[in-house]
Chains A and B, each alone.
Chain A
């Protein structure tokens, strides 16, 4: 006969060994690779533009990145205020423009997206010679144009210097041009326009001057080439954009950057915004146009893992695909799968550390919702909702309503506060706070009620203390749930949820002193030690 205790031990053991066994099987037999689980770097970029209107019509435009073989653009969002937005794609570039009539005062627009790019490097075969003819669509990039005047004798002079003998193969020719620009032209930090001739004459240039000279030299020796405009993605705010060039070699557009010495290669943090000799921002005159790029780096899980298992019944990807078909994206699934982990963190803080929080699930749910607002704004939003709702709860006191209708009113209040905050934050450009609508509304209503009870029974001090403790646990749950590694692990091995159950079963039988109890009973403990 199995005793309760034995059954408990068997279940705990099973919940730990079964998932671990399954993981081992996937790794060893099914060729699941851990490197696929390690997350990749992604950048979140906000392009922010602002203008001062004086009653005239305003128009402004810029380029948006496109997804291609090297870079992947997702999660595009915009907030345009009173401007009307128009996005127009041509074969090469994507232009976004905003327009508004008779603008008075300040206006701003924002376009944000996530970008993931790969480092690329091209190997140009040594013996490859410069072709005599190109298809028409490519021959376009051999012409003389503004900033790149091929007929100017100074270009001939430069060619003469760089190429003492004629008819070199492609690799040798590009190496010479690249080395010449890298070694003989000084890098200059200058944001204005420089054409190829000025760059050559001055012997120094910024990215656009060097780029134009590169294009001029390459075109001159019959290599189709073009300017590329983009960003070097680094965390922080900046106004600096970048330009480099691409040369058409054997069917590929091969990148060169003579400012940063990238020969036939492009690092993973280069983001292409447009092709051609273009201006990144265009706008109506006299509007005090300001812009900046706000970039934050983060890690995201790779998608490649899902494809490895193919048709295996253990391929969790098929399950995720099923969710996707009914409109539940993987991102949402990931958040849902992380909530039990957040709950475990909360249990740990309550039963082992001894912090008193509002509810077992609230911290985990708020932490999950804070994924979209960020921890800081999530916490601010949480406190805002609780305090405002608790105030409303107090106002309701004098009406002395029955419990259920009162709770329904609180729920409504939470909905109004959340939606109101969202509207206000969009209006005032607090982008992060606008995502508060994902907050767990019902749980917040219950929490506001609990807050009032604490306040009534044990005073505002106590209620504030529990609120602060809850914020601490939210932060801890957020830190754990935000871990890309843990997210990738649980997405790849959802069986780990059983391990979480086992850990909770263990914590559920843990009778040790909580950390706060060591403090609470410190004098008693000291007197016991003295005995």
Chain B
């Protein structure tokens, strides 16, 4: 190739990348001006997130009990006596570490959905680990024990390996871009893209699945279940948008990743993220800069 061809190629690449939100711009133009650091705890601490959201009537998984110190674990058996199923989470964990999903109970023993058996002592040790910050790297933490979300059938069919969640990017309280994060066998039931989960781009207007990626590469079927990853509509789509908007409006953070689960009864907010990744653009095969500019124009218009 000659010099001018290279130049032409570079000009095209620049043109094509104009719609892509870069990490530098995400940080400088969206996170810093819209999310004040003092409000980060609302997102970083899931217990606080749930408190703030449920106060405003936003649906979240019901909290059964929360522990913030070791001696509270004395009441463990009494506290959990009436629950067959529940989820144990560190309030400030990341990457799904420390999450334990209990699916049934056999006498005095809890059984996780992966078949692992937890005696009272085992459970107490796991909860103590969470409190001592083993899963939150350096900080003492709190334990959330909450309702196990009964996932909508359609999503369970898509992937039986774990909870599929919906990530909605919200800017100035408006949903901008969405994707479904689908666990795979590789991802060990976790819904994180960099741990091997699929990213399925969802059209923000219609809730239709439009594109999917796995480890950065496009694909059309779930690698384990062979379910088609395009051409169907996500259940409760209007509800998902409404709940996302409701959550965004009620927190002082204006550039957000809202993570929702879709239960048989509708969407529930799992957590919110103040530094949502930019890989969602690949999942949708869509650059998000024009969408963000549109949302800004709309946001400014409505405030006048």
Contacts and interface: CB of A to CB of B under 8 A. Distances in A.
Nearest to B128: A400
A523 interface: yes
A521 B216 CA distance: 9
9 smallest beta-carbon distances between A and B, as pairs: A511-B25, A403-B138, A529-B16, A528-B16, A525-B16, A457-B95, A513-B22, A511-B24, A525-B17
B194 A524 contact: no
Nearest to A354: B23
B285 A527 contact: yes
Interface in B47-102: 94-95, 97
B216 A520 contact: yes
A58 B282 CA distance: 72
24 contacts: A354-B23, A400-B132, A403-B138, A453-B137, A456-B97, A457-B94, A458-B194, A459-B195, A510-B24, A511-B24, A512-B24, A514-B24, A517-B23, A518-B13, A520-B282, A521-B17, A521-B20, A523-B282, A525-B13, A525-B16, A525-B17, A526-B16, A528-B287, A529-B16
Given A354-B23, A403-B139, A513-B24, 20 more contacts: A351-B24, A403-B133, A403-B137, A403-B138, A457-B94, A458-B194, A459-B195, A510-B24, A511-B24, A514-B22, A514-B24, A518-B17, A520-B282, A521-B17, A521-B282, A523-B218, A524-B286, A526-B16, A528-B15, A528-B19
Interface in A385-422: 400, 402-403
Interface in B6-52: 12-13, 15-20, 22-25, 28-29
B200 to A, nearest CB: 15
A513 B20 contact: yes
A403 B25 CA distance: 33
Interface residues of A, number: 29
Contacts of B281: 521, 524
Interface of A: 351, 354, 400, 402-403, 453, 456-459, 462, 508-514, 517-518, 520-521, 523-529
B198 to A, nearest CB: 16
A268 B13 CA distance: 54
A157 to B, nearest CB: 74
A154 B218 CA distance: 93
B13 to A, nearest CB: 6
Contact of B28 (A457, A511, A514): A511
B20 A524 contact: yes
A306 B28 CA distance: 43
B137 A529 contact: no
B28 to A, nearest CB: 5
Contacts of B138: 403
Interface string B136-150: 011110000000000
Contact of A400 (B23, B129, B286, B287): B129
Main secondary structure of the interface of A (DSSP, over half): helix
B134 interface: yes
B280 to A, nearest CB: 11
Interface in B194-245: 194-195, 216, 218
B282 A402 contact: no
Interface of B: 12-13, 15-20, 22-25, 28-29, 94-95, 97, 129, 132-134, 137-140, 194-195, 216, 218, 279, 281-282, 285-287
B140 to A, nearest CB: 8
Contact of B15 (A351, A524, A529): A529
A33 B22 CA distance: 45
Contacts, number: 79
A457 B196 CA distance: 12
B97 A513 contact: no
A517 B12 contact: no
Contacts of A453: 137
Nearest to A401: B132
B17 to A, nearest CB: 5
Contacts of A400: 129, 132, 134
A509 B94 CA distance: 29
B150 to A, nearest CB: 28
Given A525-B17, A527-B285, A529-B16, A402 B22 contact: no
A457 B223 CA distance: 23
A354 B24 CA distance: 10
A509 B285 CA distance: 27
A298 B242 CA distance: 68
B75 to A, nearest CB: 22
A518 B18 CA distance: 11
Contacts of A523: 218, 282, 285
Contacts of A462: 194
A403 B139 CA distance: 7
A141 to B, nearest CB: 69
Which residue among A458, A511, A518, A524 has the maximum number of chain B CB atoms within 10 Å of its CB? A524
A400 B128 CA distance: 10
Nearest to B12: A529
B24 A528 contact: no
A517 B28 contact: no
Contact of B282 (A354, A510, A524): A524
A528 B17 contact: yes
A459 B194 CA distance: 10
Contacts of A518: 13, 17
A509 B133 CA distance: 36
A462 B215 CA distance: 13
B95 A458 contact: yes
A462 B22 CA distance: 21
Contacts of A512: 22, 24
Nearest to B15: A529
A493 to B, nearest CB: 30
Nearest to A508: B28
A42 B95 CA distance: 53
A311 B279 CA distance: 60
Contact of B97 (A351, A457, A520, A521): A457
A459 B13 CA distance: 32
Contact of A517 (B22, B95, B195): B22
Contacts of B285: 523-524, 527
Contact of A511 (B29, B195, B216): B29
